[in-house]
Amino acid sequence: MSNFTNVANELAKKFISAKDKKYVLNKIIYDINYLVYTDTKEPLSYKSKSAIIKYIFEVVAGRKALILAKGETLTPNFSDVVVFFERRSSILKHLRNGVKSQQKLN
């Protein structure tokens, strides 16, 4: 797995460019819940997953710059921030549940 910043940046791009923000946000949560550390193959901790979500929010809110390829243009708008903020508690709940369900599998 690449570093958190790269992962979060790619997920932020997916969210910003999506037409159905809620669907993509659910997909992002699902994807994050199944990320693993490259060296140990262990699932990410809740703290690590939260850091990725926080970074995505910072990008969507315009507090951090989105890392784009040359010629790529993507700008978050206010509705992106609203959707993300409204679903914040649900996102964190699903991340917590994801950690618990993975612990049961291990």
User: Model confidence at 1, in pLDDT bands (50, 70, 90)?
Assistant: very low
Pair 98, 29: CB distance under 8 Å:
yes
DSSP-derived letter for residue 19 is S
**Domain count within the chain:** 1
As given in the structure block, the two tokens for residue 16 are 């910003």
Closest CA to 16 of 88, 89, 87, 66: 66
Does position 9 have pLDDT exceeding 60, yes or no? yes
pLDDT above 60: residue 105: no
pLDDT tens-digit series, residues 85-96: 899 888 888 888
User: What was the pLDDT predicted at 21?
Assistant: 92
Domain boundaries, position 52: 4-105
Sorting pLDDT into bands at 50, 70 and 90, what band is 99? low
pTM of the full structure: 0.83
